[in-house]
Amino acid sequence: MLMKLPDSFKKDSPKNTKPSKRIPLRIRFKVTGKDENGFAFEEYDESVDISAGGECLIFMKDIKKGESLKLYSPKGGFFLVSVRWFRYDMRKNVRYFGFQLAKPGNPWVLTNGETGSSRSNLSTLRRFEKL
């Protein structure tokens, strides 16, 4: 299921100096990859916000910028992503990382293209929040 975004939302890309707008949306993803020490891991994490080209996840592992990770959506979708930034919050003892889709042509939670659906963005967003 994809959600059409207004034209003001742009995909994240190296050409854009300003990141795309993000929408607060909580979706649980299974994340696999290697931590900053090179150890393989698999854990379930929740998104904080999401854009047409990536998202921010709450995370429990330390990872390096540029690391490639695999994300699996609740319905089994597979996404290869690249870590763009990483931040540790000492007060909450949680880590946040932002990533960009490695293959921007793949269907994602949000999209700039037409989906063929006449439903509004808000109703689609509400359906995703129930996942």
Domain borders along the chain are 23-123
Among 14-23, 33-42, 65-74, 120-129, the range scoring the smallest mean pLDDT is: 120-129
Among 54, 25, 56, which Cα is nearest to 122's?
25
Counting residues of the chain whose pLDDT is more than 70, the rounded percentage is 63
Average pLDDT over residues 87-92: 91
pLDDT of 126 higher than 50: no
The pTM (predicted TM-score) of the whole model is: 0.65
- What distance lies between CA 78 and its chain's CA centroid? 12
d(C-alpha 84, C-alpha 22), whole Å = 15
Fold that domain 23-123 belongs to in CATH: Thrombin, subunit H (2.40.10)
Among 83, 77, 62, 98, which Cα is nearest to 29's?
77
